[in-house]
């Protein structure tokens, strides 16, 4: 964590890529938007409320994007009604932390255990859908932050699942030890590798920037006699300080994400694909709202605009 003495420089410098999302939002929620001078004194201040970008008619700042992703501490741990998304893919996460279940004849794949304390909630969601938690045979993740993969050790303990992780995220995952538990990694994956179970194949795309091994998963799902391309996105939210390494990573990641075939956009925070709005439409009997090719670029549009605005701000501050 980089720290500087005080003022706006501290706000810009304070949030590093290694900081976990929860710390930011907890600070934001607890302190509120008005107590700015105190942030420099806290261990994990929330991100700055600038720059502001307007994308598809909506305004965003780094702080508002984080708040959108995380909601309140209660949102992070409250079960969202488990539901079928499409084909053999189900939502089993909380209001603001995604967890996806992919059911096959040979067992299930779970993507993102979220916080360790959410694992019983995920289990409950799996069971409410009529499946068995013990059938989880493979556990995957989108990125090495606590709010997405802290529960991996507990899921493995409860199910005996095999865990797989993108090589570039392994060091950060190994540093994640809830209650001292070693982070389980049974298999290390590399960019482009596939994971297959019971006829379903997922492809791991290395999309770094938010973390070194941020992984975007793609797969095909069949529904109503048609095949659909699913993209389970990793967070594209840039850190406050853009190092040359992070800049290079995002310059690789944004075009890659844009190039993926996509009918059903999903993400590691439900707000990235407007889950709550789509779920409400589903309840009204609308045609499957998760089939949304027009919405496939929304999240990358927002995050890429923010990345360039942050880069401009950083270059101006440095006198370039
Ligand atoms: Zn994260």
**What are the tens digits of pLDDT across the range 180-228?**
999 999 999 999 999 999 999 999 999 999 999 999 999 999 999 999 9
Clarify whether residues 28 and 159 are in a common domain. no
Q: Cα of 263 to ligand 1 centre, how many Å?
A: 24
pLDDT score, position 44: 64
Residues 40 and 115 in one domain: no
Domain assignment present for residue 90? The answer is: yes
Same structural domain, 42 and 97: no
pLDDT mean across residues, the chain: 89
Give the DSSP H or E segment for 202: strand 200-206
Of 28-42, 54-68, 105-119, which gets the smallest average pLDDT?
28-42
User: Which pTM value belongs to this model?
Assistant: 0.87
Instruction: Give the model's confidence band at 98: pLDDT under 50 very low, under 70 low, under 90 confident, else very high.
Output: very high
- CA of 13: how far to CAs of 17, 39, 302, in Å? 11, 12, 22
Residue range 111-131: mean pLDDT, rounded: 98
- 214 and 201 Cβ atoms separated by less than 8 Å: no
Mean pLDDT of 15-26: 45
**What is the rounded distance in angstroms from the CA atom of residue 24 to the CA atom of residue 32?**
11
CA distance linking residue 159 with residue 153, whole number of Å: 10
Distance 145 CA to ligand 1 centre (A): 5
Task: Give a yes or no: residue 298 inside a domain.
Answer: yes
Which runs of consecutive H residues, i.e. helices, occur in the chain? 7-14, 21-31, 62-70, 73-77, 119-128, 146-149, 152-159, 170-174, 244-259, 275-283, 298-317
Q: Based on the domain organization, do 122 and 45 belong to the same domain? A: no
| Cα of 225 from ligand 1 centre, angstroms | 36
User: Quick check: is 72 in a domain?
Assistant: no
- 5 Cα: distance to centroid of ligand 1 (angstroms): 26
Whether 316 has a pLDDT exceeding 60, the answer reads yes
Pairing of strands 200-206, 215-223: antiparallel
pLDDT for residue 39 is more than 70? no
pLDDT in tens, 221-278: 999 999 999 999 999 999 989 999 999 999 999 999 999 999 999 999 999 999 999 9
Do both 153 and 250 map to the same domain? yes
| pLDDT average, residue stretch 98-121 | 98
pLDDT-based confidence at residue 43 (cuts at 50, 70, 90): very low
In this structure, what token pair is assigned to residue 43?
């261990």
Ligand 1 centroid to residue 32 C-alpha, Å: 21
Would you mind telling me the total number of residues written for the chain in this entry? 320
| 142 and 277 share one domain | yes
Angle between helix 152-159 and helix 119-128 axes, rounded to 10 deg: 50
The alpha carbon of 19 and the centre of ligand 1 are apart by a number of angstroms equal to 8
Q: Is residue 224 part of a domain?
A: yes
Q: What is the mean pLDDT of residues 156-180?
A: 97
Give the burial string for 198-224 (b: 16+ CB within 10 Å, else e).
Answer: eebebbbbbbbbbbbbbbbbbbbbebe
State the average pLDDT over residues 20-46.
Answer: 43
Q: What is the reported pLDDT for 45?
A: 74
User: Are 175 and 40 in a shared domain?
Assistant: no
Tokens 């992780």: give the residue: 165
Task: Give the pLDDT score at 290.
Answer: 98
Q: Give the other-Cβ count within 10 Å of 154's Cβ.
A: 22
Task: Give residue 237's pLDDT.
Answer: 97
Which percentage of the chain shows pLDDT scores above 90?
82
Task: Give the domain extent around 17.
Answer: 11-49
Give the integer Cα–Cα distance in Å for 35 and 30. Answer: 10
Domain count, the chain: 2
Which tokens belong to 269?
A: 């925070």
């Amino acid at each position: 964590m980089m720290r500087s003495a005080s003022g706006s420089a501290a706000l810009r410098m304070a949030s590093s890529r290694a900081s976990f999302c929860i710390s930011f939002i907890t600070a934001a929620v607890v302190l509120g938007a008005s107590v700015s001078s105190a942030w420099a004194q806290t261990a994990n201040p929330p991100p700055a409320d600038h720059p502001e970008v307007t994308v598809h008619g909506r305004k965003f700042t780094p702080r508002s994007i984080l708040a959108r992703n995380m909601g309140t501490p209660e949102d992070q741990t409250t079960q969202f009604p488990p539901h079928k998304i499409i084909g053999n893919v189900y939502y089993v996460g909380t209001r603001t932390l995604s967890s996806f279940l992919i059911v096959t004849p040979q067992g299930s794949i779970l993507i993102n255990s979220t916080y360790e304390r959410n694992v019983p909630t995920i289990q409950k969601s799996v069971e409410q859908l009529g499946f068995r938690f013990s059938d989880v045979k493979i556990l995957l993740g989108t990125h090495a932050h606590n709010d997405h993969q802290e529960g991996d050790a507990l899921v493995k303990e409860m199910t005996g699942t095999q865990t797989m992780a993108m090589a570039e995220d392994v060091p950060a995952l190994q540093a994640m030890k809830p209650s001292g538990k070693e982070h389980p990694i049974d298999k290390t994956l590399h960019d482009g590798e596939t994971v297959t179970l019971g006829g379903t194949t997922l492809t791991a795309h290395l999309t770094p920037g938010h973390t070194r091994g941020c992984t975007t998963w793609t797969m095909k799902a069949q529904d109503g006699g048609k095949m659909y391309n699913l993209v389970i996105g990793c967070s594209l939210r840039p850190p406050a300080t853009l190092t040359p390494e992070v800049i290079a990573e995002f310059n690789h990641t944004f075009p890659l994400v844009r190039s993926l075939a996509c009918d059903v956009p999903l993400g590691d925070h439900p707000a990235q694909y407007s889950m709550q709005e789509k779920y409400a439409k589903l309840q009204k009997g609308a045609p499957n709202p998760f089939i949304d090719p027009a919405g496939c670029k929304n999240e990358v549009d927002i995050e890429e605009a923010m990345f360039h605005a942050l880069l401009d701000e950083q270059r101006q501050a440095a006198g370039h």
